[in-house]
Structure 1
Amino acid sequence: MKVIRSKEFTADRAWGALDIANMSGVTCRLHWTDQPYKWHVNDGEEVFAVLDGTVDMHYKEHGEITVATLQTGDVFYAAVGTEHVAHPVGAARILVIEKEGSV
């Protein structure tokens, strides 16, 4: 049993994470960041939920870059093969659920 107060979580570096659970090879991690990540494609599907802050999610669709602004409470789903990168607007806390070992 764990209670995690996500708004209180910070890390000592951008994209630092608190491991919450590993469910048969699927990880659930809380991230804190104030810096963009990097363009990447995950090894599987990814669920990306903004718990605090705002994140501009850049992703490629049919070769075109699209940007979706995610507010607190919004969820982004990246299907297999979706190239994407998250750009927080200030500090943000993000819950990421993905295959263990994904980029």
Structure 2
Amino acid sequence: MKIIRSRSFTASRAWGALDIANMNGITTRLHWTDQPYRWHVNDGEEVFAVLDGRVEMRYREDGVERSTVLETGDVFYASVGTEHVAHPLGAARVLVVETQGSV
């Protein structure tokens, strides 16, 4: 059993993570960041939940770049092949659920 107080989690670098669980190859990790990630496509599906802060999620649909601001409590689901990049607006804490070893 674990209890994680996400608001007190920080990392020594942007996108530093705390491994919470690995359930049959599906990982759940808590990330802290204050810097953008990079454009990428995950090997599988990804669930991205903002626990603290705000994140501008940029993604491409049919070759067109779009964006939306995710507030605390919002969830972004990236299906297989969804190209995306997260840009925190200040510091943010994000829960990510994805296949182990995914980009």
TM over 0.5: yes
Tell me the residue number matched to 1:59.
Answer: 59
Shift of 1:54: 0.2
- What 5-or-longer segments of structure 2 have no aligned partner? none
For each residue in 1:58-99, what CA deviation from the matched residue of structure 2 results, as whole angstroms up to 9, or x when unmatched?
000010000010000000000000000000000000000000
Q: Distance in 1 between matches of 2:44 and 2:50?
A: 20
Return structure 1 stretches of 4+ with deviation > 2 angstroms. none
Secondary structure (helix, strand or coil) at the match of 1:43 reads: coil
Q: Distance in 2 between matches of 1:99 and 1:92?
A: 22
Tell me the residue number matched to 1:30.
Answer: 30
- What 5-or-longer segments of structure 1 have no aligned partner? none
- TM-score normalized by the length of structure 1: 1.00
- TM-score normalized by the length of structure 2: 1.00
Give the aligned length.
103
Tell me the residue number matched to 1:13.
Answer: 13
Q: Distance in 1 between matches of 2:94 and 2:24?
A: 21
Q: Distance in 2 between matches of 1:69 and 1:3?
A: 28
Identity of aligned residues (%): 75
Q: Give the root-mean-square deviation of aligned CA atoms.
A: 0.2
Question: In the TM superposition, what are the counterparts of 1:73-84 in structure 2 within 5 Å?
Answer: 73-84=73-84
Q: Distance in 2 between matches of 1:66 and 1:83?
A: 11
Shift of 1:56: 0.2
